[in-house]
Amino acid sequence: MFNRLAIGEKLLTQTKKTEGTIPISEFLSLRLYSDTRPHCDRIADLQKGLIFVYQGEELVGEGTGFGVPIARYQDKTYFPGSSTVQIFQKVDCITAIKKFSLDMIYELKFRKARIESTITRKLLRYLSELYQKHKHWRPILQQNLLGHFGVQTNFVRTKPVGHVVVTYRVETSLIHVKADFKLLKKEGLQKVFLLNEQSSKHFRKYFDSNGAVLFDKHIDAWDNVEADWTCIYNESGEVGFRLWNAKDAILRRGREFLEGTLDWVGLDYEIGPEKTFFEYDIEVLENLKQK
* Distances in whole angstroms, Cα of residue 179 to Cα of each of 99, 166, 195: 10, 4, 11
What are the residues whose beta carbons fall under 8 Å from the beta carbon of 117, sequence distance 6 or more? Answer: none
Of 271, 278, 279, 233, the closest CA to residue 252 belongs to 271
- The Cα 196–Cα 209 span in angstroms is 19
- Which amino acid, one-letter code, is at 109? K
Taking all residues of the chain, what is their mean pLDDT, rounded to a whole number?
Answer: 82
**So what's the pLDDT on residue 116?**
52
pLDDT band, residue 184 (cuts 50/70/90): very high
Query: How do residues 207-218 score in pLDDT, each as one tens digit?
Result: 999 999 999 988
CATH architecture of the domain with residue range 5-290: Distorted Sandwich (2.70)
Rounded to an integer, what distance in angstroms lies between the CA atom of residue 287 and that of residue 27? 12
Q: Which pLDDT tens digit goes with each residue over 216-237?
A: 988 877 789 999 999 999 988 8
Determine contact, residues 250/270, Cβ cutoff 8 Å. yes
- Which tens digit of pLDDT belongs to each residue from 123-163? 555 555 544 554 444 444 444 444 544 445 678 899 999 99
Ramachandran region, residue 162 (left: φ > 0; alpha: ψ -120 to 50; beta: rest): left
Segment 52-56 shows an average pLDDT of: 93
Average pLDDT over residues 54-71: 93
Classify strands 250-258 and 221-224 as parallel, antiparallel or unpaired.
Answer: antiparallel
pLDDT at 258: 79
The domain ranges of the chain are 5-290
User: Using one digit for the tens of pLDDT, what is the confidence trace for 114-128?
Assistant: 445 555 555 555 555
Give 139: exposed, middle or buried? Use CB within 10 Å, 0-12, 13-18, 19+. exposed
The whole-model pTM stands at 0.82
Closest CA to 101 of 73, 132, 76, 80: 80
